[in-house]
Amino acid sequence: LTPCFSPPLSSSNVYMADLESALHYALRVEVARFSVLTGERVRALKDFVAVLAKYFPGRPFVRNFLHSVDRWLRNVRESRIPYSALELVLTNRKEVGLLSNNVTWVGCQGSEPHFRGYPCSLWTLFHLLTVQATRHRRLGTGPLEVLGAMRGYIQSFFGCRECAQHFEGMAAESMDKVRSVDEAALWLWSRHNRVNARLAGTETEDPQFPKLQWPPPELCRPCHSVVKRRQVWDEAAVLQFLKAYFSPINIFLNYTE
Ligand code: FAD
């Protein structure tokens, strides 16, 4: 059988469906793999949900949901959390009635089911959060707030353990050199490009979506400049581009748009 594949409207857009699917999958599938959360995992979950509650530019019911999960986690004093207790909060019908209980990939739709999907949406989510932290500096607790939450989530919960190891290697090498929220957004962008370079041409690459050094010139011409006949990034232009691309007004709410 030829797989039935209709290409996404554009993989160069940010879609709320992908982001909400990432939230569902992270909290109700990845975290759910642990029947009891202890130690580092409790810390990682609290930090992750705290940055989501603070920065996720979601629809009102999703923001209410994230705030209620955050409030609940903040009030947990025990060092262990049975997932069954968390699940009651995550499935509280009053607040999560509309947060879909399954995944819909749009910008992250792969040409076959094993391509793209959740990892794509997780990158998108964290890029968005680093950019949101640059817009709401008053709310922040420091340049590593979002990156630290991402590091903890990936280490504690991300199902691809090989990916987690690679990411931890990059984090241990240079994350603590990040000095501002702008640098945090750029750090994640440049590390994602390293991952893209490493994976280009491997079996994890969806042939319909080749791994690029991103953003390519068609998306951001000023991001690319030439110094002594070498292609280099103009990081100021990249930062400006990231802030526009991952801005709430650039998120498509309705994927038929
Ligand atoms: P993705 O790389 O997932 O990117 C998603 C979207 O983000 C792209 O469509 C594009 O719009 C945008 N984007 C691309 N590059 C950038 C950038 N530099 N900055 C901002 N936005 C960008 N897979 C492995 O096989 N081995 C690994 O070691 C590995 N490590 C991973 C580590 C992490 C933390 C994560 C979240 C995923 C990892 N993966 C790894 C999965 C892999 O990186 C891809 O997510 C997956 O192959 C799907 O690729 P994709 O084509 O959908 O694009």
* ipTM computed for the complex: 0.99
The residues near 144 (Cβ < 8 Å, ≥ 6 apart) are 175, 176, 178, 184
Contacts of 200 (CB under 8 A, 6+ apart): 210, 211, 212
Q: Which pLDDT tens digit goes with each residue over 5-63?
A: 444 446 678 999 999 999 999 999 999 999 999 999 999 999 999 999 999 999 998 99
Contact between 151 and 168 (Cβ < 8 Å): yes
Q: Which residues of 90-125 are buried (b: 16+ CB within 10 A; e: fewer)?
A: beeeebbeebeeebebbbbbbbeeebbbbbbbbbbb
Ligand 1 atom at shortest distance from the alpha carbon of 14: 11
Nearest residue (by CA) to ligand 1, atom 5, is 120
Task: Supply the residue whose CA is at minimum distance from atom 9 of ligand 1.
Answer: 11
**Which domains are delineated in the chain?**
14-247 (1.20.120.310)
Amino acid making up residue 175 = M
Helices (DSSP H) in the chain: which residue ranges?
16-25, 39-55, 60-75, 83-90, 93-96, 118-135, 145-157, 161-174, 181-199, 235-245
Instruction: Give the SS3 label for residue 156.
Output: helix
CA 75 to centroid of ligand 1, rounded, Å: 34
% the chain with pLDDT above 70: 92
What one-character DSSP code corresponds to residue 179?
Answer: -
Over the stretch 123-179, which tens digit does the pLDDT of each residue have? 999 999 999 999 999 999 999 999 999 999 999 999 999 999 999 999 999 999 999
The answer to whether the CB of 204 is under 6 A from ligand 1 is yes
**What is d(CA 35, CA 172) in angstroms, rounded to the nearest whole number?**
29
Report whether residue 25 contacts ligand 1, using a CB cutoff of 6 Å: no
What distance in Å separates the CA atoms of residue 34 and residue 31, rounded to the nearest whole number? 6
41 lines ligand 1 (CB under 6 A): no
Nearest to 21 by CA among 132, 99, 126, 91: 99
132 lines ligand 1 (CB under 6 A): no
